[in-house]
Structure 1
Amino acid sequence: MDAELPAGTSEAWAALSADPALVERVSYGGPSDGLPARLPVMELARATVAACALAAAELTAVRTGRQVPRVRVDDGAVATAFLSDRLVAVDGRAWTTFAPLSRFWRAADGWVRTHANYPHHRARLLAALGLPGDAGADAVGDVIAGRRAVDVEETVYAAGGLAVAARGAQEWAAHEQGALVAGQPLLTLEAVGEGGPTRAWSRISGTPLLPCAGLRVLDLTRVLAGPVATRTLALLGADVLRIDAPHLPESQEAHNDTGMGKRSTTLDLGDSRDHRVFEDLLRGADVVVTGYRPGALDRFGLSPEALAERRPGLVVAQLSAWGRYGPWHERRGFDSLVQAATGIAALEGSDGEPGALPAQALDHGTGYLLAAAVLRALTEQHRRDGGGTRLARLALTQTAHWLVHGLTKTPERERGFAPERRLTETDSPMGRLRHALPPVSYEDGPVNWARPPGRWGTDPAAWVAA
């Protein structure tokens, strides 16, 4: 093990309440210059992938009865995976990840970051600014330039849109939400219900060793962290079924990246017939992962407490942007907005203009931590012969706080990052798909997903037959 590297991995592993001695099973290599930034982005990427791979190896050992497999973290593969949303292509056509109105704008007293990739977010942004639905960037820029950044933030959020004032790290620390984030752990993993049916664990064998084989995952997440987590669980053998509301649009291009290994369907949980279908799926599920605003799904009986009562022994994983506390807990959020609010954009900027991380690193890093938390919960359930319902909670802001205040940059060990070495192509329903190979790697583990993504929302709302 490289002596200068394990601090970040050890911190992430400790946050998962795992055996610290297992970190010795991890080794590192490959070019470390793939995510250049002022902040320790490569350290974040390496640590989160390492923790996820080690959690997969640990569960593999539980299900095989063998020693924990050795984990190898290749920095080139990690950096490529963190750029996967920018590198994915179909028949040579890449995806434009940000729409024209998703950007920084100069306000009267600073900067504002907006997110308007989805049509409904674009419409709400324009309405909040008093602009017609066909307004373009020039009109938006003129309106924002005449207003204070915080006023734009409050006005747009009140209209259901997405905008944040760009703050410095000290300004965020003094903000009520930022001060609360600083007092939170990187993640939480706890038991929320006792008892429940004992999981019918079976031994796994052969190659590759898939620790999630036979497990069923309900994926109620959207761009980008949640789908990265469930994409990883699919890599490890889980039957992952993503469920979206039919009235919420989704980008097929985004699904081409994060839908690897998964199936996708739509259900309207407010419709009685669709809700019955969902309840049937829930009865057969082992894991439920949600990525909506805190409380947004509670009316459908999807709070952790309600799930623990109806489906004892479930693993529930919840992801949010701003955390489940403080004045911003009900706000929508994306990686780019969290970067702007928490001071990351200011730290990465220059000449008075905000900058950005070289990848959606908060999304990807939190996604791998989320998958790791699910894997650790499954391991703990196995060791405790059922162990009750387990709940994992993560937030992009908590990952951001760790990046800014918890991690330390390390010298590059090896240069020469070339993402094309970690890309592959496969046939898909959309055409010839180029995608990043998975960075989660351990001895005798999978090297690629068993299936490419399909067309979003077109799969049956049913589990694959056992």
Structure 2
Amino acid sequence: MTQDVDTATAHAWSALGGDPESAGKVTYVPAPGVLPSRLPVRQLARASVGVCALAAAELVARRSGRQAPAVRVHEAAVGAAFVSERHLRIDGRAWSPFAPLSSFWPTADGWVRTHANYPHHRARLLSSLGIPDDGTDDDGTARERLADELRTRPARWVEETVYAAGGLAVAVAEPGTDRWPLIDSRRVAGGTGRAAARRRPPGEGALPAHGVRVLDLTRVIAGPVATRTLGLLGADVLRVDPPQLPEDPKAHTDTGFGKRSTRLDLNAPADLAVFEELLGSADVVVLGYRADALDRYGLAPDTLLERYPGLIVAGLDAWGWTGPWRERRGFDSLVQAAKGISLIERGVDGRPGVLPAQALDHSTGYLLAAAILRALTERGDDGEGRHLRLSLAGTASWLMHDIRPEPASDLAEGGLPEANGAEVWMAETPSPYGRLRYVRSPVNYEGGPDDWAGPPSMWGTDPARWL
């Protein structure tokens, strides 16, 4: 086991505003073979989970008045959790989160990365390039037409044309020197309106987030990973989705643990009124949609923080909150391509490569949960709200510029590494979707939960109310 302070953990804990001396309280059980990559993905992953577990232990201590429990993170568990979608089985069946048109494609002057996992993204991608779409890809015709079209176009032209049509494609870029902050946290005092910061002392042995109400307005890995972690730790998490934007049931099965799921159409006055009522007694709101998709409903962070003193608003986006791309849609695979990671990880044939997991998503998810847990700890002292901001671009910057790679031999000192197999970190449960075999959470502290209380509910079917 490592004994010295892990530098990546210290960096992340400092970004979270934690006491520097506490960073050394995280112990890692090494598994050097997990998440192999040219970039230090294993260190990124373990540190993200480590600070999340440390923030949970800190909140346990603050709410119970006792000493913080020990934090011990297994790298093998982290490695399994970062590819949880690959391990998931629904009635014995595996699934892939990537659709046939989500890939790297050669262009006239380089490469582009497309994202077409959802039907509306597929339709916009094809229509923007004048390619007919019958909604299927069984015979590969759409792939062939897309490849032929992209081969004749400049990569930047593809990027802008597809984006203008509401689709998703980015030019694969060389690594740059620009940097993005890992976490931005702002304390918010005062304000007007109804107080949302409620005091509910936990009972003996209660989980650290017991009694905390979390409105989850996120989709696709990073946000759902954060909120399923808060649910693991005792929070009442209610995910809210618009009815017109259905979720992939397999994606929801992977990340829907620890929360309930409902649908509200904020364009409908009755549903908006229900949502406003939920807001009135929420402790945390997690936002993962682009700003222009939420501001028209009065959900801009500054508006929420003024209306509900004591509220914690946590925002998550792909490209960061400044710069020309701040309003653009984005996913982990696209950020990897645009920020240079794909070329760092390229194959011997020159084709762009990928990280061994959707590591930006998962890591940002655990960092987001950690930031919320730390905000809850601090709010217990001052009663004030917080505005938190994280991005996949910030996590990419951390990975590329701020984490020192460690030789596997260094990690193995002091004891033999555990087996890297995922089986020991998996569990099974019946669910509305069928029997699930899934990866348990890697967030661990002494006396903490080792699994969620129950399986995901059917997406969008829970009542729109708090427990």
- Provide TM-score, normalisation by structure 1: 0.94
Question: What is the Cα deviation at residue 448 of structure 1?
Answer: 0.4
Is 1:406 matched with 2:402? yes
SS in 2 for 1:136: helix
Distance 1:204 1:10, change over 3 A: farther
The partner residue of 2:432 within 420, 429, 448 is: 429
CA distance in 1, matches of 2:202, 2:229: 21
Please tell me whether residue 142 in structure 1 is matched to residue 154 in structure 2. Answer: no
> What is the correspondence of 1:5-404 to structure 2 with a 5 Å cutoff?
6-134=6-134, 136-170=142-176, 173=177, 179=178, 182=179, 184-194=180-190, 196=195, 199-206=198-205, 209-350=206-347, 351-384=349-382, 386-387=383-384, 389-404=385-400
**Deviations 1:412-444 (CA, angstroms, capped at 9, x unpaired):** 223631011211111111111011011000011
Which deviates more, 217-226 or 407-416?
Answer: 407-416
Structure 2: gaps spanning 5 or more residues: 135-140
Residue 450 of structure 1: aligned partner:
453
Q: Distance in 2 between matches of 1:54 and 1:436?
A: 21
Tell me the distance in 1 between the aligned counterparts of 2:42 and 2:282: 35
Is the contact made by 1:199 and 1:382 (CA closer than 8 Å) also made in structure 2?
no
| Shift in Å, 1:4 | 5.4
Contact 1:63 1:204 in 2 (8 A): no
- Report the CA distance between 1:201 and its aligned residue: 3.5
What is the CA-CA distance between 1:295 and the residue it aligns to?
A: 3.6
Whole-angstrom CA distance in 2 between matches of 1:188 and 1:32:
31
Contact 1:294 1:324 in 2 (8 A): no
Question: Cα deviations across residues 202-261 of structure 1 (Å, max 9, x unaligned)?
Answer: 14322xx41110111000000010000000000000010000010012101001110001
Match of 2:458, SS? Answer: coil
Contact 1:81 1:438 in 2 (8 A): yes
Partner of 1:461, secondary structure, is coil
> For the residues of structure 1 that align with 2:358 and 2:290, how far apart are their CA atoms?
19
Once residues 250 and 32 of structure 2 are traced to their aligned partners in structure 1, the CA distance between those partners, rounded to angstroms, is 28
Cα separation, partners in 2 of 1:272 and 1:125, compared to 1, 3 Å? same
How many angstroms does 1:19 deviate by? 0.5
Match of 1:176 in 2: none
Residue 32 of structure 1 deviates from its aligned partner by: 2.6
Q: Is the 8 A contact 2:222 2:365 kept in 1?
A: yes
Report deviation, 1:199.
2.9
Change (3 A) 1:36 1:4: farther
Instruction: Indicate the SS of the match to 2:316.
Output: strand
**Aligned partners of 1:425 and 1:197: how far apart in 2?**
37
Task: Report the Cα offset of residue 197 of structure 1.
Answer: 6.0
RMSD: 1.3
Q: Please tell me whether the aligned partners of residues 319 and 393 of structure 2 are also in contact (alpha carbons under 8 angstroms).
A: yes
Shift of 1:198: 5.3
The one-letter code sitting in structure 2 at the alignment partner of 1:12 is A
Distance 1:32 1:216 in 2: 38
Aligned 8 A contact 1:9 1:23 in 2: yes
Q: Is the 8 A contact 2:197 2:311 kept in 1?
A: no
Give 1:294 deviation, angstroms. Answer: 3.0
Question: Can you list the C-alpha shifts for 1:76-117, whole angstroms capped at 9, x where unaligned?
Answer: 111011011221111111121100000000111111000000
Q: Distance in 1 between matches of 2:344 and 2:305?
A: 42
Alpha-carbon separation, structure 2, partners of 1:307 and 1:15: 24
CA contact (8 A) 2:196 2:280 kept: no
1:347 and 1:34 map into 2 onto residues whose CA distance is 19
How far apart are the structure 1 equivalents of 2:197 and 2:458? 35
Q: Which amino acid aligns with 2:311?
A: L
For residues 353-398 of structure 1, the C-alpha deviation after alignment (integer angstroms, 9 at most, x for no partner) is 10000000000000000000000000000012x12x2111001001
Deviation at 1:3, TM superposition (A): 4.0
Residue aligned with 2:435, SS: strand
In structure 2, give the amino acid aligned to 1:448: D
Taking every aligned residue pair, what percent have the same amino acid on both sides? 58
In terms of mean alpha carbon deviation, does 99-108 or 189-198 score higher? 189-198
Instruction: Give 2:354's aligned amino acid.
Output: A
CA drift of 1:5 comes to: 5.9
| Aligned residue pair count | 450
- Higher mean alpha-carbon deviation, 359-368 vs 305-314, is at 305-314
Query: Residue 297 of structure 1 aligns to a residue in which SS?
Result: helix
- What is the TM-score with the length of structure 2 in the denominator? 0.94
